[in-house]
């Protein structure tokens, strides 16, 4: 299964480790370092089978490559997945995160992490104890959900202007699917702009805590609204679901919203404007990667002013494997990617 996934992937390399003490599989996927060291969050999740975690990391790392390029960040795309048998807590969680930090450190800066699903800034503080390549700790950057929510708000506004001729959100109805760190902030900002906000979350109490009208989870796709904003899970737009949509615009933070590329055409044919996820949800990476600039550290001129426009390489463990799926683009340890010749500032 791993072999098939690796053969069909166009990324640079994948690091695979089985973490025996926790029973977790750790996947670090570096999709591209063309623009700089690969950046992307770490996701902790229970998957049906380990290969699903690898597939997720591959897809997400690919999306990060595009997102970094579009946001004009000096980073390539990467992503890590901790595929755990169950979400660990306490000392077990801490020990896993420390070992994970050691693995990322061993990659020499080729991959730099932040948080993703089920990984908090406090978790990243722990990873930072054994790894310098961490963004979004409590002391530096924090939760990127805030920046992501701002970006989605700008994306929704731009989409509304495109479809309705005015960027005014007052009176426009927006259904936010998922009231987590992005969706919660987004709902609050939309309410402040006078939008009619509907929120759906598997955790109904969380949805209600936004102060918006709560929509049952099963009705999220079929509820009439101007904007459907997926801020929970990816893959909600497919040949099966698109005919059910009753919105004019899709603009949300979830990564990989389209089940397949062809679904973009289905949306177009249905008269629905799709704001690409990797553009709309880039606010978080801009928030974190841009942090050194805001702290006065000199960066490449190309990256200035971007935020405002958001509308040992072989694994050291016997149980780790580092794989370069495509022979045409190996990057040897002696030829590090741009920006990784020396340890970057700690953030
Ligand atoms: N946090 C960021 O900076 C960031 C950046 C880019 C993309 N994203 C993506 O945006 C999405 C949301 O991120 P987040 O940080 O807010 O995650 P989160 O884990 O904080 O929140 C997700 C919310 O969705 C809810 N949920 C899960 N499945 C659902 C379903 N089927 N229907 C309705 N609600 C459901 C959960 O209960 C939770 O409240 C994720 O797909 C994430 O990958 C996040």
CATH class of 2-138+322-346: alpha beta
Q: What average pLDDT does the segment 56-68 reach? A: 95
CATH numeric code, 145-283 = 3.40.50.720
Could you read off the pLDDT of 242-270 as tens digits, one per residue? 999 999 999 999 999 999 999 999 999 99
CATH 3.40.50.10860 domain residues, the chain: 2-138+322-346
Residue 226: DSSP 8-state: S
Q: Is 339 left (phi over 0), alpha (psi -120 to 50) or beta?
A: left
Distance CA 201, CA 221 (A): 12
For residue 139, the CA-to-ligand 1 centroid distance in Å is 23
**What rounded mean pLDDT belongs to the chain?**
87
Long-range contacts of 329-334 (CB under 8 A, 24+ apart): 329/12, 330/12, 330/13, 331/12, 331/13, 331/33, 331/110, 333/108
Ligand 1: residue of 64, 65, 180 to mutate (most ligand atoms within 8 A of CB) is: 180
Of the residues 79, 99, 128, 157, only one is catalytic, namely 79
Residues with CB under 6 A from ligand 1: 116-117, 144-145, 148, 177-183, 200-203, 206, 217, 231-234, 253-255, 281, 284
Q: What average pLDDT does the segment 131-152 reach? A: 92
Name the helix (H) or strand (E) containing 163: helix 145-164
Distance CA 132, CA 64 (A): 20
Q: How confident is the model at residue 278 (pLDDT cuts 50, 70, 90)?
A: very high
Q: How confident is the model at residue 293 (pLDDT cuts 50, 70, 90)?
A: low
For residue 253, the CA-to-ligand 1 centroid distance in Å is 8
CATH 3.40.50.720 domain residues, the chain: 145-283
pTM reported for the whole predicted model: 0.82
DSSP helix/strand/coil, 200? strand
Q: Is 67 a catalytic residue?
A: no
H runs (alpha helix) in 209-305? 262-269, 277-280, 283-289, 291-294
Q: Two tokens at 337?
A: 């990617």
| 24, pLDDT greater than 60 | yes
Could you read off the pLDDT of 69-110 as tens digits, one per residue? 999 999 999 999 999 999 999 999 999 999 999 999 999 999
pLDDT at 301: 40
């Amino acid at each position: 299964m791993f072999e098939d996934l690796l053969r069909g992937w166009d990324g640079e390399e994948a690091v695979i480790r089985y973490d025996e003490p926790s029973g977790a599989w750790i996947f670090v996927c570096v999709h591209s370092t063309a623009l700089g060291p690969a950046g992307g969050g770490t996701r902790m999740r229970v998957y049906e089978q380990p290969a699903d975690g690898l597939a997720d990391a591959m897809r997400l790392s690919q999306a990060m490559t595009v997102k970094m390029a579009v946001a004009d960040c000096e980073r390539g795309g990467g992503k890590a997945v901790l595929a755990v048998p169950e979400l660990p807590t306490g000392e077990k969680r801490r020990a896993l995160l420390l070992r994970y930090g050691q693995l990322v450190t061993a990659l020499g800066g080729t991959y730099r992490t932040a948080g993703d699903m089920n990984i908090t800034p406090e978790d990243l503080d722990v990873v930072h104890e054994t790894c310098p390549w961490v963004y979004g700790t409590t002391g530096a950057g924090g939760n990127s959900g805030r920046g992501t929510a701002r970006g989605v708000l700008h994306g929704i506004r731009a989409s509304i202007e495109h479809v309705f001729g005015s960027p005014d959100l007052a009176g426009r109805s927006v259904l936010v699917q998922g009231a987590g760190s992005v969706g919660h902030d987004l709902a609050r900002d939309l309410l402040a702009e006078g939008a009619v906000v509907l929120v759906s979350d598997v955790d109904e109490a969380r949805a209600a805590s936004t102060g918006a009208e709560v929509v049952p989870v099963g009705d999220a796709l079929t509820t009439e609204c101007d904007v459907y904003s997926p801020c929970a899970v990816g893959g909600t737009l497919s040949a099966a679901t698109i005919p059910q949509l009753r919105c004019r615009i899709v603009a949300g933070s979830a990564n990989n919203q389209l089940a397949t590329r062809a679904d973009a055409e289905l949306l177009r044919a249905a008269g629905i404007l799709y704001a690409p996820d990797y553009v709309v949800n880039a606010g978080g990476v801009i928030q974190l990667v841009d942090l050194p600039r805001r702290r006065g550290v000199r960066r490449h001129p190309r990256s200035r002013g971007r935020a405002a426009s958001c509308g040992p390489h072989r694994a050291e463990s016997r149980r780790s494997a580092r794989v370069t799926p495509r022979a045409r683009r190996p990057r040897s340890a002696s030829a590090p990617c741009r920006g990784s010749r020396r340890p970057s500032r700690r953030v």
